[in-house]
């Protein structure tokens, strides 16, 4: 099918990045959020990020202006019913996502494809709460969306081939690379990444190393661009914990048990960069380890 108009639910970190790349690729974008302030902030951030690309010579000033002109914000979820593809990028909580799909379904066109940017939740289960499980997929972008080249495409048990091919064509038009994943907890990237981060937190919890020594060891010893604890702060410790809980509950294997220290940080509200404190304290000029 020909996808021309994309609806995005959620104007946060992931949603505004998805809107950015879709508009730049020539799609008309309808960006939805329950907060008008969040919509304004998202469009301002897209403007800033596009300008950064102009300054680096990645795109022209005319391309930036055209892309911005393709994005419209709305706080009315039902308006997304007129789009060809919906990408849900709301909070990583299943109850929230299900409520969004249930509110949206009565207003959709028959051909509209529904997708979720979930990083761990069952696509089959989400799809079953809609009227079109065959037209439902996981569409998992990496953060930051304009920079990262991978998109995980996850088929639910009912997803049909035309839906997969349509989503694959979108990924290719965005200039990104698709990795197809089966619908098992956390898919590919987070199935491998999150246990590594969780093990780094256990290494800290058990006193094997400090925050700085763990991150330095992984950056210099394995050539990772960012240490696992720094990366956890960037992702959000609440998101890391949520994914570990999905793995632990979904696979019933003790190797996925979330580290108690990760739980403690989340309970304290120290969620990483977004709250200015996590494994590092970001309130000063330079990040300072908190342990």
Q: Which residues does the annotation mark as catalytic?
A: 119, 140, 152, 190
135 annotated to a ligand binding site: no
Angle at 245 between CA 241 and CA 251, to 5 degrees: 145
17 annotated to a ligand binding site: no
- Rounded Cα–Cα distance for residues 119 and 272 (Å): 18
> Collapsing DSSP states into helix, strand and coil, what is residue 46?
helix
- Rounded Cα–Cα distance for residues 206 and 14 (Å): 33
196 annotated to a ligand binding site: no
Q: What is the DSSP string of 202-255?
A: HHHHTTSS-HHHHHHHHHHHH--SS-HHHHHHHH-HHHHHHHHHHHHHHH--GG
236 annotated to a ligand binding site: no
109 annotated to a ligand binding site: no
Please give the order of strands across the beta sheet that includes 28-32: 71-74, 28-32, 5-9, 85-88, 113-116, 136-141, 150-155, 177-181
Nearest CA among 122, 121, 60 for reference residue 93: 121
φ, ψ of residue 168 in degrees (nearest 5):
-60, -40
> Collapsing DSSP states into helix, strand and coil, what is residue 5?
strand
97 annotated to a ligand binding site: yes
Nearest CA among 1, 17, 197 for reference residue 89: 17
75 annotated to a ligand binding site: no
149 annotated to a ligand binding site: no
143 annotated to a ligand binding site: yes
36 annotated to a ligand binding site: no
φ, ψ of residue 108 in degrees (nearest 5):
-80, 150
- Rounded Cα–Cα distance for residues 22 and 85 (Å): 11
Which residues make up each annotated binding site?
Answer: 10-15, 33, 92, 97, 119, 143, 274
Which residues make up each annotated binding site for NAD(+)?
Answer: 10-15, 33, 92, 97, 119, 143, 274
């Amino acid at each position: 099918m020909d996808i021309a108009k994309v609806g995005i639910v959620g104007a946060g970190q992931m949603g505004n990045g998805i809107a950015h790349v879709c508009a730049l690729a020539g799609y008309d974008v309808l960006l939805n959020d329950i907060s008008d302030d969040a919509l304004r902030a998202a469009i301002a951030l897209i403007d800033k990020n596009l300008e950064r690309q102009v300054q680096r010579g990645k795109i022209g000033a005319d391309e930036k202006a055209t892309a911005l002109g393709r994005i419209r914000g709305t706080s009315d979820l039902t308006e997304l019913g007129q789009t060809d593809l919906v990408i849900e990028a709301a909070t990583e909580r299943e109850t929230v996502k299900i409520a969004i799909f249930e509110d949206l379904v009565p207003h959709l066109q028959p051909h509209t494809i529904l997708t979720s940017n979930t990083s761990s939740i069952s696509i089959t289960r989400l799809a079953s709460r809609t009227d079109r499980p065959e037209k439902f997929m996981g569409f998992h972008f990496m953060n930051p969306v304009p920079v990262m080249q991978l998109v995980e495409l996850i088929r639910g048990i009912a997803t049909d081939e035309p839906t997969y091919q349509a989503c694959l064509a979108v990924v290719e038009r965005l200039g990104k690379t698709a990795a197809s994943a089966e619908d098992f907890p956390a898919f590919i990237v987070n199935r491998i990444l999150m246990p590594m981060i969780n093990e780094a937190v256990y290494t800290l919890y058990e006193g094997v190393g400090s925050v700085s020594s763990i991150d330095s060891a992984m950056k210099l010893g394995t050539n990772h661009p960012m240490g696992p604890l720094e990366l956890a702060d960037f992702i959000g410790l609440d998101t890391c914990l949520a994914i570990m809980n999905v793995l632990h509950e979904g696979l019933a294997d003790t190797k996925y048990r979330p580290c108690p220290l990760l739980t403690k940080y989340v309970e304290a509200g120290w969620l990483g960069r977004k709250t200015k404190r996590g494994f590092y304290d970001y309130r000063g000029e330079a990040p300072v380890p908190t342990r």
